[in-house]
Amino acid sequence: MSHGSGAGRHLAATAVVPSALAAVLAAALFAVLTILLVACDSGANPSAGSPAGQPAAPASPASPAALSPAPPPAPSPADEGLQGRTETNGFFQPMRYTAVDGDTWEGIAAHFRMTPEILKSFNESPSVTEGQVIDLRGVDVPQLGAGGSVTGQDGQGQFLYRASAGDTPAGIASRYGVPLYALRIANLNLLTGREWIPPAGTTVVIPNPPAS
């Protein structure tokens, strides 16, 4: 056996190793490229949603009716007040009202913070007519807490009121349109240390009576 042939076999074996390694590397590179291509295809054509790297398509626009705000509730008509003439007494309390066309018991009562039933009890007319003078206090009508009656006037023009059973200072003050404190001051001689309840038959002075 010659040294030349042995050296040739060694060189041939040495050359086979790089070739096999190159084949393995090529196969691995091919596999990696195949995986990348498959991944790119799946990203370019997804089964659902928008393409990769692109914004999602906007949702279909809502109908104009859904976008427009709900209309505000219709405003209630403003209370323009009564157009007739209101008479007050010296304490600026309303005593009488002269009606105009279009006035109603409900409207007048609401304006003066009363109920229509109470207002009607002070007035005999079944309906409101233009020019009618409406009693707002029921001065001439006995009522709850003020069932007595006026018997005359004193030297200063103040009413002298004869109390009945069940009368109260608040009821009398309301009927004649005077503040409670003024009624008490005008009747200091009747006050006691407790709550003032005038006995039946007691004469109570009504300060600053309404003009007749």
Q: What is the pLDDT of residues 176-193, one digit of tens each?
A: 999 999 999 999 988 876
Of the pLDDT bands very low, low, confident and very high (cuts 50, 70, 90), residue 31 is: low
58-72, 165-179, 180-194: segment of lowest average pLDDT: 58-72
Listing DSSP states for 73-130 in one string gives PPPPPP-----SEEEE-TT--EEEEE--TT--HHHHHHHTT--HHHHHHT---SS--T
Give the per-residue pLDDT at 208: 80
Rounded to an integer, what distance in angstroms lies between the CA atom of residue 185 and that of residue 180? 9
- Cα end-to-end distance, the chain, whole Å: 160
pLDDT at 105 over 70: yes
pLDDT at 192: 75
SS3 207: coil
143 or 49: whose pLDDT is higher? Answer: 143
Residue 9 has pLDDT above 50, yes or no: no
Q: What is the mean pLDDT of residues 102-113?
A: 96
Residues linked to residue 161 through DSSP beta bridges, in sequence order = 150, 204
Per-residue pLDDT of 72-86, as tens digits, reads 544 333 345 799 999
Q: Which residue has the higher pLDDT, 149 or 78?
A: 149
Neighbours of 26 (CB within 10 A): 10
31 vs 87, residue with greater confidence: 87
- Say if pTM beats, i.e. exceeds, 0.85: no
List, in sequence order, every residue forming a beta bridge with 146; answer none if it has no partner. 143
- The answer to whether the beta carbons of residues 105 and 125 sit under 8 Å apart is no
Q: Taking 70 as the threshold, does the pLDDT of residue 196 lie above it?
A: yes
CA-based nearest residue to 117, from 138, 96, 93, 99: 138
